[in-house]
Homo-oligomer: A and B are copies of this chain.
Amino acid sequence: MTPTPAVDPADLLRLDKQICFSLHAATRAFNGVYRVLLKDLGLTYPQYLVMMVLWEHGELPVKRLGEHLRLDSGTLSPLLKRLEAAGLVRRERSTRDERSVEVRLTEEGQALHERALEVPRRIATVTGFDLDELRDLRSRLDRLTTALDEAALEETPGCR
């Protein structure tokens, strides 16, 4: 098999801790900055992610939305209800397939797009990020995610 390198398990645990912390911390730091910027728009961070998908695709069933965001109905259903209560989206049972629910932007939801264009500009300004570096970080994270997803599949108990 793999020629296991001579790494002290305790060091590995320490490194593991550092990775976990870093990712955890980065996510929450991201969240915190967005929280402030999104307050003006009346959106939470996950709601912002949902709206971005809708701004791009206009209208789509909950299922597709979930695929884009890696979220299931348990998370999306209440979130979408709140967006509907805020007047940003409407939810309608599909007439073609009554199991499915179509989510579409209201005019108000559409209009929010204009104001949302400000957000990434302010993020970029405020953090002084280099665009290329961000792209690079993104691709690394994506590779990480892919590797983890594949690992998760093999790791699932009882899947052999």
Contacts and interface: CB of A to CB of B under 8 A. Distances in A.
A117 to B, nearest CB: 4
A25 to B, nearest CB: 5
Contact of A29 (B10, B30, B152): B152
A17 B119 CA distance: 11
A95 interface: no
A69 B151 CA distance: 26
A10 B120 CA distance: 9
A157 B117 contact: no
Contacts of A55: 13
B131 A7 contact: yes
A140 B141 CA distance: 11
Contacts of A24: 27, 49, 70
Interface in A140-160: 140-142, 144-145, 147-149, 151-152, 154-157
* Interface residue SS majority, chain A: helix
Interface residues of A, number: 69
Contacts of A36: 152, 155-157
Nearest to A139: B22
The 3 closest A-B pairs by CB, nearest first: A16-B120, A29-B148, A22-B141
Interface of A: 2, 5, 7, 9-10, 12-30, 32-34, 36-37, 45, 48-49, 52-53, 55-56, 69-70, 116-117, 119-121, 123-129, 131, 134-135, 137-138, 140-142, 144-145, 147-149, 151-152, 154-157
